Chains A and B, each alone.
Chain A
């Protein structure tokens, strides 16, 4: 790739150059990199809140019976934990932080197509978050962040943009369904038009269908950008061209396509049509294939690479391992006979967290460790990052793996209290939760103590365009449009 063509004296985007200074400059910025950081800080605050809520639940579940709060509080807390984690963090997370920061640079643009709209979505996000917090347990989720996407310009696009592009399609097509569903609920509550309430002549299963028509594709909204991040990290730390570029790009779009038609697998016990059941089962199995293809290509990329096991790669490998466990246990739910047993049990809790936290969460942490030098212009301590990773990996598995076992034994989910035979597993989970929290604290302290050495433009030897800019990049990314003479991931 061409050498950095930038004038070095141009100030970084972190320095205020406009009329406004300090916090005002940040709140009125239309620079995609600053908006990315606005999102990063807000998401971090919400994540800490959601994480603390989760830890209180684990503490409450340490023993059978009530420990320190009652069932009403517990139910409210798991609802709020889910709302915050899913709607405020996981669904927008990777896209708004790294999609915003890296993607315009990767495709050689100076900003997103509609920068003011981009800032506006952050305000919508904060407004939605405020509504969630204020209405606490009555809200059905804040508005989804709908910042306008734009298609990649050329076939020489790195793979993260392909993943984000596929995600954008899901968001555009699936999100209206949840919007319509919310309108129907309002109509039912206000005008007593019976859609879902059997007392008014409605069908409660219809609500489940509509909810999952949105919410299952939403899971792909969450995981696709994570897969995109992993696809960026692996080639860099193996100094090797990504294996199966086309297969990976097509499998993202295949997941986005088939992902619409598998929602029924959330409802195998709802009493829906038995003919629909087998169709949903077979489609669910098929949607697993593109994910498997990605895993094979990632591992194949490592073959005969020159592997540098830096923290981002450690997170990427942990992602593949945890995502495989999440994926395989997903097959258990795709298979009809076994889904009946594990449906609505702790097994689902474990599977879901393996995908969302082990998958999306670890990819997010990998992405932070990967682009951190670019975002802030400094390095962090690799040694401490590795220690934090160790705590997170061990804590995560101790926390969620026992839930698979008690789920198989029938322990239902969303239970404030449980039978004595589940106690040992619940206690291991609680300890795992604390170890995970320690890992988080170590990681955050390591990243934000601001003592690291200055980062060079390309500390990891990456080949995508963001590494041609100084760290941190200047306000307007490229003074002259970059020339991209080769395919991405060319390490020859």
Chain B
């Protein structure tokens, strides 16, 4: 584990050590006692049990001790958690958008990236937004995690303290590609950060069709580079001949404007054979007709 990768690591890990220390002590002592009793008071060696009356003082002792221990553990767990709630006023803000099954990060100035890049030693507040179902945003190396709940303004904050790449996972089960909904956080020096941010394209400079695809998380299942995700890649799709199943019978169709429009609004109607029904929902009323045309124009450029 990367100790100290964020400002919370030290405090959280101390609670872990405390909990595991106390647990290991009791586990070993109690287990050793059981093994000792089984050997020492084995029926062969100890044919007649000695009946012992309940002892109130003993019962009270072993009720009181665990109560004190757990209250003490509660206190330390709470103290190390408390700073995670209060965001420093000077924290920079990044909006994290969770979509099935992709993360994107919106920086000030309408700049969008699919890797979270952050400057070293500067507090950052992440506003967590979901456009569909509940996701979980987790950076284990930083000891932070929060659910990304549609309709709720959840957030997290931390200060990155080490440069490098750290894993980001989706931790709330969200469907087929849940286990692939990961990316990285890259912590860089403030100078590198400024250079990087300057190089990020403003979202509105990207082709209109690509913006529509990203906005609706189409690229979570359909890759742009030819790799196979849940469904066919968009690369080289336009103009290709596909075998589809229409009402239970197979036929061949050429991927053209009409086929793409049908696929957006009635995905199960002409389903490419080998794929299952019901995985893609209809985008009727979500992707407007002019947006569908933009998608088609963009797909034509993806050779």
Interface residues of A (CB under 8 A from B): 71-72, 75, 198-199, 203-205, 238-241, 243-247, 269-271, 274, 277-278, 281-282, 285-286, 288-289, 292-293, 295-296, 299-300, 302-309, 317, 320-321, 324-325, 328-329, 331-332, 334-341, 343-345, 408-410, 412-419, 491-492
Contacts and interface: CB of A to CB of B under 8 A. Distances in A.
Nearest to B31: A321
A344 B136 contact: yes
A72 B179 contact: no
Nearest to A283: B74
A71 B175 CA distance: 9
B81 A336 contact: yes
A98 to B, nearest CB: 23
B49 A410 contact: no
B198 interface: no
Contact of A338 (B15, B30, B134, B154): B15
Contact of B176 (A72, A295, A320, A412): A72
Given A286-B70, A289-B63, A292-B62, A338 B77 contact: yes
CB-CB nearest 10 A-B residue pairs: A410-B140, A335-B77, A198-B151, A337-B80, A336-B81, A328-B23, A344-B171, A415-B179, A285-B70, A271-B154
Given A336-B78, A417-B179, A341 B73 contact: no
B122 interface: no
Contacts of B138: 344, 410, 412
B299 to A, nearest CB: 25
B223 to A, nearest CB: 15
B191 interface: no
28 contacts: A71-B176, A71-B177, A72-B276, A75-B175, A198-B150, A238-B41, A240-B49, A244-B54, A269-B146, A271-B146, A281-B74, A281-B78, A282-B71, A302-B33, A305-B37, A306-B41, A306-B48, A320-B34, A331-B19, A335-B76, A335-B77, A337-B78, A338-B77, A340-B84, A343-B136, A345-B171, A409-B140, A410-B141
A246 B149 contact: no
The CB with the most chain A CB atoms within 10 A, among B77, B151, B173, is that of B77
A66 to B, nearest CB: 11
Contacts of B140: 341, 345, 409-410
B12 interface: yes
A241 B231 CA distance: 65
Contacts of B59: 244, 247, 293
Contact of B15 (A239, A274, A337): A337
Contacts of B85: 274
B16 A338 contact: yes
Nearest to A237: B43
B57 interface: no
Interface string B243-265: 00000000000000000000000
A71 B230 CA distance: 9
B160 to A, nearest CB: 16
Contacts of B16: 332, 338, 341, 408
Interface residues of B, number: 77
B41 A302 contact: yes
Contacts of B62: 292-293, 296
B27 interface: yes
A135 B111 CA distance: 45
Contacts of B54: 243-247
B51 A325 contact: no
Interface in B173-201: 173, 175-180, 182
A264 B279 CA distance: 33
A416 B178 contact: yes
Contacts of A417: 179-180
Given A281-B77, A281-B78, A412-B169, 12 more contacts: A240-B51, A241-B52, A271-B154, A282-B74, A293-B59, A300-B58, A304-B49, A309-B42, A325-B27, A334-B73, A337-B8, A410-B138
Contacts of A324: 26-27, 30-31
A412 B136 contact: yes
Most A CB contacts (10 A, CB to CB) among B136, B147, B175 go to: B147
B224 to A, nearest CB: 20
B145 A307 contact: no
Interface string B1-36: 100000010011001100110010011001101100
B126 to A, nearest CB: 13
B218 interface: no
Contacts of A247: 54, 59, 63
Nearest to B1: A409
